[in-house]
Chains A and B, each alone.
Chain A
Amino acid sequence: MPHMAELSAVEIRNVSKVFGFGEFAFAAVDNTSVSIRQNEFFTLLGPSGCGKTTLLRLIAGFEFPTSGDIMLSGENIAAMPPFKRPVNTVFQSYALFPHMTVAENIGFGLNMLGRPKQEVRDRVAAMLKLVRMEALAGRRTSQISGGQQQRVALARALAPQPKVLLLDEPLSALDYKLRKDMQIELKRLQAETGITFIFVTHDQEEALTMSDRIAVMSSGKILQVGNPREIYDAPADRFVADFIGETNFLKGRIASVDNGIASVETAMAGVISATMPKDFNADGEVTVVLRPEHASLCPPDQPGVCQMSGTLENVVYFGTDTHYHVRLSDNETVFTLREQNKPLQGARFAEGDRVGIAIEANAARVLRN
């Protein structure tokens, strides 16, 4: 038995969930393992259909794994019905009981656990305070706004003090401004309660801003687990690189490797210095990734400054920054780059111009294929 401090909050061990039979069988979660630490804000990120919600439902107990184990603080809960698991869920649709008031909703879990009336009342009051909803305790859930429903759903799930809180895209129904507010609110609640949060989202920005660690999922598998910076700066593979943020992919051939830095010969950009992933040895064909914000436009044909050149195809103004799409000289690859807008400065280049592209040092990375 490992020591308590090392114990994971949730440990997924070789879990698969297959829907359907025979030739129609489909593994929503495919032999996946991951360990979620105590008190962390852990995010499952991926496109719709990647299996993230299924994995969450497996932890909640709404689905049961076809194979594998789910350990909650060291106990295997894979076959335990949901009402016995000390885990609560904030549903995407909130799933507030429409025939109950805000307070009755929040007290539901504790009442089901058969807690004394006074304790339930106190705890509901504390929860209402925590989510700043004291004034609306007696309202029906149909009489409050979407943002308020969201808070009630949170309070309801937190009230029984679960070991783990599961959040299934809880912010997707809110408009932009409210979503930003709730992101901060969620972080605050997680810090205040010290409960492990497992958060499911398809919104990479949301994942990057909120999480302690992120697991990127695709086709039922976890491709990479890491903190937001690792995920963004050092994507493990092409999918992660493509899914998180915008990325340019350049094909090339490794000429030499020195101290973790590879010199990659590319057809378009000449030789680029690119960081090699850890424990990765390769030669021959590789793909180099480059974030749009790590490149900038420069006047063409300035050797030493610009690595590449092409035709500026279009310029898209985004307020904070401007995106440029450049068709490189091979006439096929379109390179995207992004420059921050400065006050009183118009576009430096116009569509149709020939432009050069300068790449920042240490910005390029070789992808693990």
Chain B
Amino acid sequence: MARTFSIRRQRGFTAIAMICFFALYLPIGVLVFYSFNAGQSLASFEGVSLRWFQKAFENQHVIDASLRSLQIAMTAAIISTVAATMAALATTRTEPYRGLTLKYAFINQPLMIPEIVTAVALLIFFARIKTWTGYSGLGYLIAAHTAFCIPFAYLPIRARLENMDLTLEKAAADLYATPWKAFRYVTLPLLWPGILAGFMLAFVISLDDVVITEFVKSAGQDTLPTYMLGQLRRAITPEMNAISTLFLLLSIGVVTVFFIVNRKRV
């Protein structure tokens, strides 16, 4: 007797999906597993040890790069989220007006250009400014990160705004709330989950960036990803697994929060 017919079932789809999930997690699992390897080699597991984590924590380069990564990501995420929130308010819930399409195109532009092209462009542009001004601090990296984070922060905020019931603000105005009060007591509290989601998206995107950072950074401005890229090109040590595992943990933490925030639908 065959199983009962299900309208949702498509032959083989579940199997492919299972293989897909397995294949997605196998390499990550291997990576994490070997970060606890007591031995040097990936070919053999020689018992559980935290020595590679310890080694990573004692590595001043790793600590510096991590702190720099967090500093850039935090700054870029805050600035881009504020800018994106304002932009989202300016581009949603309105009749089309002159320049609206241009704004969309502009805001989403960093998503549409291959990263390598933007990286090259910034390399050239910032190299000029560096020679003109003599300033070579983290400002360039922060500016670059902020720019490519804006479309990511913009996405969930705009989505939230567009799903928001316009009559709520009408109701607030009807109940004597001035435009500012309506924004403060109605729009902003309802928008908050979107802003938070946008911030986290921006934070992670900035934290993960390799290409643009690699091209824009001055000497001694390695972030954790560019440091890792440099190491990967030389020799691969289990220390890299340990760093990756920690990085992974951070990403999973942020995505978990993101999920919870986004699930709370009002």
A positions within 8 Å CB-CB of B: 60-62, 81-84, 87-89, 91, 93, 95-99, 108-109, 112-113, 142, 156-157, 160
Contacts and interface: CB of A to CB of B under 8 A. Distances in A.
A179 to B, nearest CB: 21
Given A93-B165, A95-B168, A97-B168, A88 B173 contact: no
Contacts of B190: 98-99
Given A99-B189, A142-B266, A82 B178 contact: no
Contact of B165 (A87, A88, A95): A95
10 contacts: A89-B174, A93-B167, A95-B170, A97-B171, A97-B186, A99-B189, A108-B185, A112-B175, A112-B178, A156-B175
Given A83-B178, A99-B189, A112-B181, A91 B170 contact: yes
Contacts of B185: 108, 112
The 5 closest A-B pairs by CB, nearest first: A109-B175, A95-B171, A112-B176, A95-B167, A98-B266
Contacts, number: 67
Nearest to A166: B174
A245 B266 CA distance: 41
A36 to B, nearest CB: 18
A96 B170 CA distance: 11
A81 B171 contact: no
Nearest to A85: B174
Contacts of B178: 83, 112
Nearest to A113: B176
Interface of B is mostly: helix
By CB atoms of chain A within 10 A, which of B168, B171, B185 has the most? Answer: B171
Contacts of B189: 99
Given A99-B266, A112-B181, A142-B266, A83 B174 contact: yes
B177 interface: yes
A113 B176 CA distance: 6
Nearest to B170: A62
B42 interface: no
Interface residues of B, number: 20
B194 to A, nearest CB: 13
Contact of B175 (A62, A99, A160): A160
Interface string B151-194: 00000000000000101101111111111011001100110000
Contacts of B181: 112
Contacts of B165: 93, 95
Contact of A108 (B167, B170, B172, B266): B172
B175 A108 contact: yes
Contacts of B186: 97
A62 B168 CA distance: 12
A95 B182 CA distance: 13
Given A91-B167, A99-B189, A112-B181, A81 B266 contact: no
Given A99-B190, A142-B266, A83 B176 contact: yes
A360 B165 CA distance: 53
A89 to B, nearest CB: 5
Contacts of A156: 175
By CB atoms of chain B within 10 A, which of A88, A97, A157 has the most? Answer: A97
A91 B170 CA distance: 9
Given A93-B165, A99-B190, A61 B173 contact: yes
Contacts of A62: 170, 173-174
B175 A81 contact: no
